Structures are given as structure tokens and as C-alpha cells.
Amino acid sequence: MSIPANPITRRLALPGWSVLRFSLTLVAAALLAAAIVTGVLVVFWIGIPVAVVVLLAIRVWANSQRRVIGEQLGVHIPVPYRPRPKKARIDQQALLLVREAATWRDVAWLAIDATLGFMVNLLYLGVFGIAVYYLVQPLLLVTIFHAGPNPVAVNDFGIYDFDTPAKTLMLVPFALACAAAWWRWGELFLRWYSHLGVLLLGPTAKVLLTERVSELRQARDETAGSAAAELRRIERDLHDGAQARIAALSLTLGMAEELLSQNRPEQAAALVGEARQACSDALEEIRQLVRGIHPPVLADRGLTGALQAMALDHPLPVSVVDRLVDKLPAPLEAAAYFATNEVLTNITKHAEASQVQVVVNRDRNQVVIEVRDDGVGGATFAAGGGLDGVRRRLAAFDGTVQVESPEGGPTVVTMTLPAAAVDTGSAHNAARPNPD
């Protein structure tokens, strides 16, 4: 569940969220007390397993805070923890938890939320409660608080006792002022506090940089492995295909030469005809091999033209919608082309679709390619599968792949590439009109 986007419904929903946050501050106070007691017990052996339990409980609480704050602000707060070894001893687990910077950031937010968070949410709910209570109090005095001839004194401020419905009407301006303050500044007040939580609960720049380096290293290794596998495939195709045909062609021509020396021109002519056919077959295999390395249509007509040519050769009806008027660099075009080709191949094999649509678009700083089909759905990322290969191919360009494929379809595969690599100065595709 997330906070509604409409400003009015969002403000009306915030008190419920503040109640949830207020309850989490009470949990934070209990965990903070437990952490203090654990800090005392940790000098004894019994404090070590207790510390592990308390720190893991704080992580559960912090993750709930990440989820609640993220839904309130409409952002995603990544979990910054490093993987924990499953078979480590209890003292090793405690040491790893204590040495991790995210643990201490969680404890810092725990202390802040148990004190400042308690006051922030109490103040927000207090202003909201005062506004509501004093607006409906005249009605309450007439109904609930009216007890016989002596009504219950509910507003005895010492200076003046607002004990009748008529007198309580004098408090309505005060209630309206609280309501106006709650409406105008209440959400900003909660969002300010939530942004403070994002600073502590989110990963640090060092953690993000480490994760980024790890992702780039993995992408580099996968790209190098894919390149090596591609080179082996090309070598195998050349050895088993074109090279074998050329060797057979050489033997055939040698036999024809021998027949000519024996004055048997008819049989030599037949062998020359076979050699010509073998030469044509070898050329076709070489063309197919070159097309698999870098399709000539991609260099001649750009990504859109190559996708349209791919659509014409596809066994299913494929429509291509191009909203990208800029020329992509050749490596990026090749990655997008082969990734789209792999997705279309998967659709042919597994989707049982009747039609496919490919949409190429520019979304701010990204190039987005959407492939939609009306098949049976259920597409997922499987190790070694086609979609996994697409993800690994695009990862080398800092690209991503998302799949929405409920059972029964339809399936939408969204491939995203950074537009920073787009060469906007090229006029290769600039003459194409924008369909929109």
C-alpha cells in the first residue's frame, strides 16, 4: 500500500500513516532499551547471542522503516546490508554485524526515532486531534458528555470553564487555526522527518560505489565470456561450414582438372557445375555468419531499418513503431538489435502469440525498447535462458531488462539503455519523421 497521489486524499491518509510511524517509535524505544542492556551484557558470553538477536531485530525494524518511508515519499530505499555467512559461529556473526557500518546507522536512526520521531508524530497527531476534537465538541457536549443536570467539565482551563455547547463555540476559531496549520504544514513536517530517515537508512556513497564496481566487474566478466564464446562459435562455424565447403570445392575442382587431362569434358563439366553450386553455398554461409556478427542492414539503415527488416523475416506479424530520431552508436545499436532479436526468438518458441509490437522510444535520459506480445505469458528470467542472455548483453552498456508477464498474458519486455551514449549530432536518422 502507498500514499495516494491526489493531494487531498494524501493529506487525509497521512494521520493513519502517522499512527503507524508512532507505533514504530514505540518499538524503537523498546529496541533501544534492549540494545543498551545488551551493551552491558556483551562483556559476558551470554551477551554475544543476545547481541546477534537484538541487532537482527533492529534490522527487521529498519527494513520496515525503509518500506514505510519509501511508500510515504514514493522512493525506493535499498537495503545496504552485506550478505551474512550462514554457517559462521555466533561470535563471528556478532563481529560481522558490529563491524558493518549499516548496523551503526540503523542504531543511530533507532535512537533518533525513539526520541525525535516520537515527538514529531505526537505533535502531528496532537494538532490533528485538537482540530478535530474542538470542532465536534459542541455536538459532544450535547450528546456524549451531557450527564443529567450537571454536565461533565471537559474544558476547565482554570481561567475559564468552557462547559456548555455555546461556550465551546468560542474554541472553534482555535480549532480552525490548528486545522489550517495541520493542512498547510503537517505533510511538510512529516516529509522533512522522513527525508532525515532516508539519509540514515539508505546506503552510503561508499556502499553504492562498491556495489557499482561489483556490478561493472560482473558485467565485464560476462561480456568477456560472451565475446570468447562468440569467437569460438565463429571459429567452429568457419571450420565446420565454410572451410569444409571450400576444401570440398578444391577437391572437386582438382577432380575436374584431372578429368580434363583425360579428355573427359562432359564429366569434368558436371564436376565444375557441382563446384559452382558449392561455391554459392559457401558464400551464403559466410554471409549468414557475417550477418550474425554485425548485420549489414544495421550499418546501412540504422536500428529502425534493421528492426523492420527483422520484422519482415519473422514468422509472426511484427509491427515496429520508431519514436527515436537520433542515431545510436554502432555498439549500442548492435546490442539493441541482437537483444530484440533474442526476445522475438523467445516469443516464437514459447509465447504462442499471434502478433508482436516493437516500440522504440526516448524517455528523458534513456532509450527504451518495448516488445509486446499477446501470448500465454509466464515469461521469467531463467539461468542460461534467452531473457537472461538479453540481460547480460545489455548489462555491458549499463542497460536493464524488465519483464511483465502474468499467466495468460500479455507479455511486455522493456529494455532500457542509457541515452548518454546517443550521438545526437548524427543526421543518419534525423530525416525520419516522428510518428507522434
For the chain, which residues make up each domain, given as ranges?
A: 7-201, 207-293, 297-421
Largest separation between any pair of C-alpha atoms in the chain? 138
Q: What's the Cα-to-Cα distance from 204 to each of 66, 160, 221, rounded to whole Å? A: 14, 55, 26
Q: Look at residue 251 in the predicted model and tell me its pLDDT.
A: 80
Instruction: Tell me the fold of 297-421.
Output: Heat Shock Protein 90 (3.30.565)
Q: Look at residue 60 in the predicted model and tell me its pLDDT.
A: 92
Q: Is the dihedral of CA 280, 290, 370, 304 positive or negative?
A: negative
Q: Look at residue 336 in the predicted model and tell me its pLDDT.
A: 82
The enclosing H or E element of 262 equals none
Provide CB contacts within 8 A for 54, sequence distance 6+: 31, 34, 35, 38
- Within the chain, how many helices (H) and strands (E) appear? 13, 5
Q: Look at residue 421 in the predicted model and tell me its pLDDT.
A: 46
Asked if 114 and 32 count as a contact pair (C-beta separation under 8 A), the reply is yes
Strand, helix or coil at 49?
Answer: helix
- Nearest in space to 174 (alpha carbons), one of 219, 127, 116, 217: 127
How far is residue 361's CA from residue 52's CA, in Å, rounded to a whole number? 49
How far is residue 126's CA from residue 149's CA, in Å, rounded to a whole number? 31
Q: Look at residue 393 in the predicted model and tell me its pLDDT.
A: 77
Strand, helix or coil at 321?
Answer: strand
Provide CB contacts within 8 A for 35, sequence distance 6+: 54, 58, 107, 110
Q: What's the Cα-to-Cα distance from 106 to each of 17, 100, 319, 360, rounded to whole Å? A: 21, 10, 51, 43
Amino acid present at 150: N
pTM of the model: 0.53
How far is residue 137's CA from residue 143's CA, in Å, rounded to a whole number? 10
Strand, helix or coil at 338?
Answer: helix
pLDDT values of the chain reduced to their tens digit, one per residue, 436 residues: 566 667 788 888 888 888 988 999 999 999 999 988 888 887 777 778 888 889 999 999 999 999 888 888 888 888 888 877 777 788 788 888 888 888 888 999 999 999 999 999 999 999 998 888 888 877 766 666 555 454 444 555 555 555 566 666 777 888 889 889 888 888 888 889 888 888 888 877 776 777 777 767 776 666 666 666 666 766 666 666 667 777 777 887 888 777 778 888 888 788 788 878 878 777 777 766 666 566 677 777 777 788 888 888 788 888 888 877 777 777 777 888 888 888 888 888 887 888 888 888 877 778 888 888 888 888 877 776 778 878 877 877 778 888 888 888 788 888 888 865 444 443 344 334 344 4
Beta strand 400-404 with 356-363 is unpaired
Q: Look at residue 112 in the predicted model and tell me its pLDDT.
A: 93
The enclosing H or E element of 362 equals strand 356-363
Cβ burial of 373 (10 Å; 0-12, 13-18, 19+) is: buried
Q: Look at residue 427 in the predicted model and tell me its pLDDT.
A: 36
Cβ burial of 97 (10 Å; 0-12, 13-18, 19+) is: buried
